[in-house]
Amino acid sequence: MAKQKTKFVCQDCGYESTKWMGKCPGCHSWNTLVEEREAAPKTQRRGFSTTDGPRKIKAEPITKIERRDEARSSTHINELNRVLGGGIVPGSLVLFGGDPGIGKSTLLLQVSAMVAGNKKRVLYISGEESVKQTKLRADRLGIEEDDLFVLAETEVAVIEQVIEEMQPALVVIDSIQTVHQEDVTSAPGSVSQVRECTASFMRIAKTKGIAIFLVGHVTKQGAIAGPRILEHMVDTVLYFEGDQHHTYRILRAVKNRFGSTNEIGIFEMKESGLEEVLNPSEIFLEERSAGAAGSAVVASMEGTRTVLVEIQSLISPTSFGNPRRMATGVDHNRISLIMAVLEKRVGMMLQNQDAYIKVAGGVRLDEPSIDLAITVAIASSFRDVATEAGDVIIGEVGLTGEIRRVSRIEQRVMEAAKLGFTRVIVPQKCLEGWKAPSGIQVVGVKTVAEALEVTLGGKTSGTPSFEL
């Protein structure tokens, strides 16, 4: 009998080695290489064709290929539809990740009930809970749909057989780390099992036109467990973010072949399940303290949506040799850059001050237009002078102290006017080519010093502005 060959596979990056090593050469993680037996080579095809016998392969000119617009299925949850790009695409494979207890299973069970309410069959496969446990969650959410079927199974062959018999419109696999194939010798959740199981579900989705949602566990660093090959195989990757101690959850798309990757959906966790938040700006600003130093409001673009959030800053003298720089919701390096600009261009002595920056509400902001709001918040806390409660501050800060243009300024100002703000500070170049709405003052600034004079030191006579 031939000797069974083994290999060692890294559970973080998928690196393969013939011998065990304490540190993975691929991702430099410790104690992640696990021994797996090599599976016998398969003779079955892995393509999307379902015909028997040799296939005639023929390439087609792209101009001759017929275009078909796939009809999306609405989930009746506007926040999820926005993140998906307009709804569920038939034949798509969606990976859904998030921390334990964040609400992944709850949201997908609600989505399954919504789709089943349209007289479409939905198959919810649970590999972690029994059918009775899933029924308890459905009763809590008030779900009673005859077209929603529940199956507690972890064997891929059995799942494929059930899908073949039912022909559902939507399949939910909760979770991909619990299912396994018998011909793969490694344990469920390993790199080989996750890769093979995902490939099987991808073939089902593409050949039968069935939309499949895969739930993925995440590591301590927040990434989906297993190698990143899992994210490359699927069509859409969604992350469910939030704090278990807060009620708000943010659904963010990091990969989407059928829509934008800049969209976010905001939900609130309640006893009856997750409910969408239609106006998140009011939620993020409802507890803002009036007249507090170190606070500034910015209009940030998240995909096609404008979100007004509060940026808070606390500057205090340091008691250590090196001052601390801590940031929540924004990049730590951006804070150091902005503080260096304030020291060099404005003359603020911040080198002996601790800086703590936070975006209220648990949102993470990455776009450059929040630079000026962070700058004003830091200067406000350092000078102990409060900003005006009706101000919204928008702009990118350059290293020479200039305020640079940002995109979609009209949409940002409209959102500020809708929520009752009376003044918006914007880059000077953004005043050209558009008309401001009535009831709100728009002030253009060119430099950081000029912006601080307008927001903290009174408006200067030479500051260009217009009001309708």
What are the helix and strand counts (H, E) for the chain? 11, 22
Element (H, E) at 349: none
90 annotated binding-site participant: no
Nearest to 18 by CA among 44, 36, 42, 31: 36
What string of DSSP letters covers 11-32? Answer: TTT--EESS--SB-TTT--BS-
**252 CA to centre of own chain:** 2
Residue 319 is assigned to a ligand binding site: no
DSSP state letter for 430? G
Note whether 233 and 206 are within 8 A (CB): no
Residue 103 assigned to a binding site: yes
DSSP 8-state class, residue 231: H
Alpha helices in 317-370 (DSSP H): 332-341
102 among annotated binding-site residues: yes
Alpha-carbon distance of 1 to 382, in angstroms, equals 77
The reply, when asked if residue 370 is annotated as ligand binding, is no
Q: Pinpoint the alpha helices (H) of 67-190.
A: 78-84, 104-116, 131-141, 156-166
Closest to 416 measured CA to CA, from 393, 397, 395: 393
> Do the beta carbons of residue 171 and residue 91 sit within 8 Å?
no
384 known member of a binding site:
no
Give the whole-angstrom CA distance, residue 278 versus residue 305: 11
212 close to 203: Cβ distance less than 8 angstroms? no
Q: Is residue 215 helix, strand or coil? A: strand
- H-only helix segments in 188-328: 191-208, 229-233, 280-285
The single-letter DSSP state of residue 73 is: B
Give me the residue label for tokens 């789709």: 115
Whether 277 and 283 have beta carbons less than 8 Å apart is answered as: yes
Residue stretches of the annotated binding site for ATP: 98-105
Residue stretches of the annotated binding site: 98-105
